[in-house]
Copies of this chain bind each other. A is one copy, B any other.
Amino acid sequence: AKQRDDTLVASADTVSTETGKFPLQHILEAQQFDTELLNSIFQVAREMEEVERNSEGSQVLKGYLMATLFYEPSTRTRLSFESAMKRLGGEVLTTENAREFSSAAKGETLEDTMRTVEGYSDIIVLRHFESGAARKAAAVSNIPVINAGDGPGQHPTQALLDMYTIQREIGHLDNIKVGLVGDLANGRTVRSLAYLLAKYTGVQIYFVAPDVVKMKDDIKQYLTSRNVHWEESSDLLEVAANCDVVYQTRIQRERFGDRVDLYNEARGKYIVDTKVMSMLPEHGVILHPLPRLDEITVEVDSDPRAAYFRQAKNGLYIRMALLKLLLQGY
């Protein structure tokens, strides 16, 4: 396991597109990526946008098998990975609901499941309900593991596609102003995004959240330690006027239990609507990890600055890039 741990964090100078070797063995968490590695992945993702049907590039993973091992359903993420694999000529083994496979059903450990499935495939995409599951899985796996979300833990490919979308839409990642809006306490998405943004220079972050779901102190302290300017605001219009990116998130009802009153209060507070759009700079964009309920009104969809469906599509390119890099290198 020692050797594997070494590959979890790749320092800048281990990234070598000359040798062609991708420095990571597994994709487990946002902390694995520095800016050089991010930029190299984004470059490959950009190339993936240009892969044409039945071109040579569309066959680079021919003969490879990806297993999607999903212990909780997430059709969007699963389809995105499976599309990515197939767009590159690879094949897929699907498990929409792996829970019956394992502990829940007969008591098998995740480690045993991995040791079996690695015999049937070349790469495993794991979605799990327990924080840390991906790391546990990778520790015993001889083939690459991609964390497709492990409970309240990490969802690194979402963080990468968010960053990639900002770069694609705004043109750069340094010196940007980002408003993070909605459920900042529970959303692993915004937490990972804040973490990765902090690696770039001149970034300014604005938190806009209902009182009950404010950004937690650990991320704030981290941002401060990285000299990232951040502030909290309760004025979404003002933040929109100041930002390049407004990243809206869904208030997650499932986090409120019986407190429907708190949920309803939080839910209606910050809505991206045409009024917000009227404040947003012309070059600005609205992002959202999806699914959205009514925290962005449908009138906004036709605004060219509504980038959330392009963002979802970028998930495809990022996953194509990661699959290619893990299986074939640069």
Contact = CB atoms under 8 A, between A and B. Distances in A.
A49 B61 CA distance: 21
A187 to B, nearest CB: 13
Interface in A45-92: 53-54, 58, 62-65, 67, 73, 75-76, 79-80, 82-83, 86-87, 91
A293 B107 CA distance: 6
Interface in A277-291: 290-291
B65 A291 contact: no
* This chain's copy number in the assembly: 3
A63 B53 CA distance: 5
A116 to B, nearest CB: 5
B290 A120 contact: no
A24 interface: no
Contacts of A54: 62-63
Interface of A: 53-54, 58, 62-65, 67, 73, 75-76, 79-80, 82-83, 86-87, 91, 93-98, 100-102, 106-108, 112-113, 115-117, 119-121, 250, 290-293, 309, 312-313, 316
The 6 closest A-B pairs by CB, nearest first: A108-B291, A119-B313, A83-B120, A53-B63, A75-B101, A54-B63
